Amino acid sequence: MNPCATTFPIRDYDLDATVASGQAFRWSAHRGGWVGVIGRRWVRLKSTDISLTAQTAEPVPDWRWLTHYLQLELDLQPVLASFPPDDAMRSAVQACQGLRLLRQDPWECLASFILSSTKQIVQIRQIISHLSEDFGKPVSVPRGHAPIRAFPTPEALASANEAALRACKMGFRAPYLLAAARAVSEGDLRLDVLHQMSVTDARAQLLKLAGVGPKIADCVLLFAYGFQSAFPVDVWVMKALRELYFPRRRPDKARLQRFTETYFGAHAGYAQQYLFHYMRTRRQTPAKAIALRGVR
């Protein structure tokens, strides 16, 4: 038995769509699989229809950190069955069977989405890569693989100065990230207790941070804490809501919010991810398809 590799049986799991779907930003395509860092571990993932293989740089006695991150134990069928039975949702699900939500580290997720505001996915990846290079601890990598660093800890960023953060091309987001890093490292914001709070209270905690509005708060609630009712509305999801559900009248903000909170069911956040992916990938022009492949 190789202590640095394992294989899991999977069902309804589209790894490619999942790691490239704008919820996590550190995965890179590598020889038919994906290379990334989870916590302080380098990991390479590769999947077929029925199995997912993971390789690490150092021996792994317990793989729960990975099954948890990938949410491998989740049965997707009940989630899909909970979606409203309308044409839009049906098309979105049909476009990508097996799209999943990851369960990311709260700090990495929060920091990443603070950096995401008014940025496109490619550029978010660039900033986070640069930030990790400058402030992250090195992690072990198997022979023959490029060196890579962990996502920076709150402490590492809290002791940085704003100019050094700006050097990572994050612009006006630098003071927001710095303040968040300080709040977390000084214990003013306890990310570890948001799990136990109601989604409303957890959201209120996140919204206290400068640079965190409703969209970014909902991303963190959904992608790091697994609050299935969180429904981040970005331009793509807004486009989906307008085109698919409100083609005539354009609803005011309160009405739209009530709709997203009630219509999509117990796994609204999951429904949102399918709509997001559907809007981003449907009716691709050939040039755009090539560009998207280039990102992977």
Partner DNA sequence: TACCAGGAGAGCG
Partner DNA sequence: CGCTCTCATGGT
* Residues near DNA, by CB under 7 A: 116-120, 122-123, 126, 166, 169, 171-172, 176, 209-217, 234-236, 285, 287-288, 291, 294-295
Q: Identify which of 114, 146, 136, 133 has the alpha carbon closest to the alpha carbon of residue 40.
A: 136
Least distance CB 209 / DNA (angstroms): 7
**Contact status, residue 233 vs residue 114, Cβ threshold 8 Å:** no
Least distance CB 293 / DNA (angstroms): 10
Give the torsion through C-alpha atoms of 48, 51, 57, 62, to 10 deg: 160
Least distance CB 58 / DNA (angstroms): 33
Q: Identify which of 280, 267, 269 has the alpha carbon closest to the alpha carbon of residue 236.
A: 280
Structure tokens at 163: 């100019």
Alpha carbons 207 and 156: distance in angstroms, whole number:
23
Alpha carbons 58 and 172: distance in angstroms, whole number:
38
Tell me how far the alpha carbon of residue 139 is from its chain's centroid.
Answer: 21
Nearer to DNA, 215 or 242 (CB): 215
Least distance CB 169 / DNA (angstroms): 4
Give the torsion through C-alpha atoms of 33, 38, 41, 45, to 10 deg: -20
Alpha carbons 261 and 141: distance in angstroms, whole number:
43
Nearer to DNA, 12 or 134 (CB): 134
Nearer to DNA, 108 or 218 (CB): 218
Least distance CB 6 / DNA (angstroms): 35
Nearest-10 crossing angle of helices 268-281, 214-223? 110
Q: Which residues pair with 9 in a beta bridge?
A: 51
Nearer to DNA, 35 or 124 (CB): 124
Nearer to DNA, 110 or 157 (CB): 110
**Contact status, residue 278 vs residue 284, Cβ threshold 8 Å:** no
Least distance CB 131 / DNA (angstroms): 13
Least distance CB 9 / DNA (angstroms): 35
Nearer to DNA, 1 or 287 (CB): 287
Nearer to DNA, 52 or 179 (CB): 179
Alpha carbons 66 and 8: distance in angstroms, whole number:
11
